[in-house]
Amino acid sequence: MSERVALVTGGSSGIGEQTALRLQRAGFTTYAVARRVDRMKPLEDAGVTTFAMDLTDDPSITAGVDRLVEEQRRIDVLVNNAGYGSYGAVENVPIDEARRQFEVNVFGLARLTQLVTPLMRDQGAGRIINISSIGGKFYEPLGAWYHATKFALEGFSDSLRLELAPYGIGVVVIEPGPILSEWSEIAGDSLVGSSRGTPYERQAEGVRRRFEKSYRPMIASGPDVVADKIVKAATVAHPRPRYPVGRGAGSILAARRVLPDRAFDAVVSRLYA
Active site residues: 146
Q: What residue type is assigned to position 210 of the chain? A: R
The gap between the terminal CA atoms of the chain, to the nearest Å, is 56
- Angle, alpha carbons 79-85-88 (nearest 5°): 160
Q: What share of the chain is helix, strand, coil (3-state, %, to 5)?
A: 55, 15, 30
Mention every residue, 6+ apart, whose C-beta is less than 8 A from residue 43. Answer: 11, 17, 20, 21, 32, 50
With contact defined as beta carbons under 8 Å apart, do 4 and 76 qualify? yes
Q: What residue type is assigned to position 85 of the chain? A: G
Going 66 to 72 to 78 to 82, the CA torsion angle's sign is negative
Rounded Cα–Cα distance for residues 19 and 9 (Å): 10
Query: What does 76-140 look like in DSSP terms, one character per residue?
Result: -EEEE---------TTTS-HHHHHHHHIIIIIHHHHHHHHHHHHHHHHT-EEEEEE--GGGTS--
* Strand ranges in the chain using DSSP code E only, listed in sequence order: 5-9, 29-34, 49-52, 77-80, 126-131, 169-176, 242-245
User: The sheet that has 126-131: what strands, in order across it?
Assistant: 49-52, 29-34, 5-9, 77-80, 126-131, 169-176, 242-245
